[in-house]
């Protein structure tokens, strides 16, 4: 509890808030207070800047801050604005459309350059001044994500930051659709049956998805697919097909544009992106999957389809980096378990794409029986 005589008001705050209030009224700048809190509480400077800034804004709006030198209000940033980082200035990686939002992607981190955002090249739009800015930067060993001027998330690994970015873009693409979980997966629809195909990078998931999309299957996504919380609908992140160099000879015959697509080197692999719209109908979402299939390319092996128990399915989903949407709760976990128990799942090992497609058709057809 603190009393501010100038405003003749009583403010009830915790000890940490009281410290911010006192330091501010002693004339300490926002940046200095944030730096002190980052050291004292062992948190990142970005998080300290965000939290201190929010409280300073509340204090200023309520008349709780003492007047300092003329123009001192300039030290108060817009709520949530991130601090300066160790990175060089950000560059624009493109302007993209997600749902009703237009996003200008800015990055000063090499791992999140224009090559990273090339997966959304079919969503590129012209600038019109209405774009919301998504910015990725780096401070020390931490990656920082800022959207619309507010701090969103921080991560210590590239993969974790990718998850944060994908979850944010999924929320923009599917507004007002609560997300239960999401995973690295391809997704297609065949004769009103949707199919979820989770898998690690390099397992053959993207090649199979591209092949199916070129042979009558409706394309949903090839990167990150969310499961809706209420109805288990498949809600994909809208990405191009990502084709690695080993599959180019096969897929080029189906997608001629792949030959002229630029080669992007990421994580020691060469890949090209191709717009699936050239060959397939695209849906923004689909009903709950009729089946889950975990595909794996196995050269020289016979095509095999192995049913999975719910426990085996959950283990495979976790292996495909499936995770609950934030905030993770026990209720969401129960819903995910229920989703797994109700959905038939299989492991598919294949060497020939036509045989894999036939096996998938048989799985989906069996759901009518």
pLDDT at 322: 92
Confidence of residue 84 (pLDDT cuts 50, 70, 90): very low
268 and 319 belong to one structural domain: yes
pLDDT at 277: 76
CB contact set of 160 (below 8 Å; sequence gap of 6+): 143
pLDDT at 39: 62
Report d(CA 79, CA 64) in Å as an integer.
17
pLDDT at 10: 55
Does residue 339 lie within any of the structural domains?
yes
- For range 2-19, the mean pLDDT: 59
Does residue 86 lie within any of the structural domains?
no
Chain segment 342-362, per-residue pLDDT in tens: 999 999 999 999 999 999 999
- Look up residue 249 and give its two tokens: 């000879």
58 and 196 belong to one structural domain: no
Helix axes 310-319, 330-342, angle to 10 degrees: 120
146 and 274 belong to one structural domain: no
163 and 253 belong to one structural domain: no
- Which of the listed residues 154, 173, 192 is the one where a domain comes to its end? 173
Chain segment 107-119, per-residue pLDDT in tens: 999 899 999 999 9
Q: Name the E strands within the chain.
A: 2-4, 9-11, 91-98, 101-107, 132-139, 142-147, 150-155, 179-190, 193-198, 218-221, 224-228, 234-236, 241-244, 264-266, 269-274, 291-297, 304-307, 323-324, 345-350
For the domain that residue 70 is a member of, what is the CATH number? 1.10.10
Does residue 80 lie within any of the structural domains?
no
For the domain that residue 238 is a member of, what is the CATH number? 3.40.50
Cβ neighbours around 365 below 10 Å, total: 13
- Contact yes or no for 38/142 (Cβ under 8 A): no
pLDDT of 63 strictly over 80: no
Rounded to 5°, the CA angle 30-34-39 comes to 155
pLDDT of 255 strictly over 90: yes
- Contact yes or no for 84/34 (Cβ under 8 A): no
350 and 222 belong to one structural domain: yes
- Contact yes or no for 120/104 (Cβ under 8 A): no
- For range 250-274, the mean pLDDT: 90
pLDDT of 20 strictly over 90: no
- Which of the listed residues 157, 173, 189 is the one where a domain comes to its end? 173
Choice between 273 and 80, residue whose per-residue pLDDT is larger: 273
Confidence of residue 310 (pLDDT cuts 50, 70, 90): very high
Does residue 84 lie within any of the structural domains?
no
289 and 310 belong to one structural domain: yes
202 and 346 belong to one structural domain: yes
Chain segment 154-170, per-residue pLDDT in tens: 999 998 999 999 999 99
- For range 61-67, the mean pLDDT: 55
For the chain, what is the domain count? 3
- For range 61-74, the mean pLDDT: 45
126 and 258 belong to one structural domain: no
Does residue 97 lie within any of the structural domains?
yes
- Residues shown for the chain: 369
Does residue 345 lie within any of the structural domains?
yes
- Which of the listed residues 50, 75, 100 is the one where a domain comes to its end? 75
- For range 3-20, the mean pLDDT: 60
pLDDT of 82 strictly over 70: no
Does residue 343 lie within any of the structural domains?
yes
189 and 285 belong to one structural domain: yes
240 and 337 belong to one structural domain: yes
193 and 300 belong to one structural domain: yes
Structural domain including 33 reads 2-75
Chain segment 36-53, per-residue pLDDT in tens: 776 666 666 667 777 787
286 and 248 belong to one structural domain: yes
Whole-structure pTM over 0.85, yes or no? no
Confidence of residue 300 (pLDDT cuts 50, 70, 90): confident
Does residue 81 lie within any of the structural domains?
no
Chain segment 178-236, per-residue pLDDT in tens: 999 999 999 999 999 999 999 988 888 999 999 999 999 999 999 999 999 989 999 99
Choice between 130 and 81, residue whose per-residue pLDDT is larger: 130
pLDDT at 61: 63
């Amino acid at each position: 509890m603190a009393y501010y005589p100038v405003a003749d008001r009583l403010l009830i705050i915790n000890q940490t808030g009281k410290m911010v209030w006192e330091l501010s009224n002693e004339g300490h700048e926002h940046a200095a207070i944030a730096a002190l809190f980052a050291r004292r509480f062992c948190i990142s400077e970005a998080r300290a800047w965000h939290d201190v800034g929010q409280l300073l804004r509340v204090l200023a709006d309520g008349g709780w801050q003492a007047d300092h030198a003329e123009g001192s209000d300039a030290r108060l940033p817009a709520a949530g604005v991130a601090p300066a980082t160790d990175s060089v200035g950000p560059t624009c990686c493109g302007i993209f459309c997600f749902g009703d939002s237009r996003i200008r992607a800015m990055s000063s981190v090499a791992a999140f350059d224009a090559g990273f955002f090339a997966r959304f090249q079919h969503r590129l739009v012209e600038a019109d001044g209405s774009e919301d800015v998504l910015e990725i930067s780096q401070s020390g060993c931490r990656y920082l994500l800022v959207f619309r001027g507010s701090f969103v998330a921080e991560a210590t690994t590239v993969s974790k930051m990718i998850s944060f970015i994908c979850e944010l873009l999924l929320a923009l693409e599917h507004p007002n659709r609560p997300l239960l979980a999401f995973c690295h997966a391809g997704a297609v629809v065949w004769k009103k049956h949707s199919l979820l195909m989770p898998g690690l990078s390099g397992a053959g998931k993207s090649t199979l998805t591209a092949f199916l999309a070129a042979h009558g299957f409706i394309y949903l996504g090839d990167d990150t697919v969310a499961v809706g919380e209420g109805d288990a609908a498949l809600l994909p992140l809208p990405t191009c097909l990502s084709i690695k160099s080993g599959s180019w000879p096969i897929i080029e015959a189906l997608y001629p544009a792949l030959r002229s697509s630029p080669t992007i080197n990421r994580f020691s692999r060469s890949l090209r992106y191709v717009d699936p719209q050239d060959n397939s109908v695209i849906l923004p979402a689909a009903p709950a999957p009729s089946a889950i299939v975990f595909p794996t390319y196995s050269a020289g092996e016979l095509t095999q389809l192995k049913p999975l128990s719910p426990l085996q399915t959950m283990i495979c989903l976790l292996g495909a980096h499936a995770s609950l949407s934030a905030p993770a709760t026990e209720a969401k976990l129960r819903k995910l378990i229920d989703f797994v128990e109700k959905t038939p799942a299989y492991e598919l090992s294949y060497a020939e794409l036509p045989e894999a497609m036939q096996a998938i058709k048989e799985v989906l057809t069996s759901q009518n029986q």
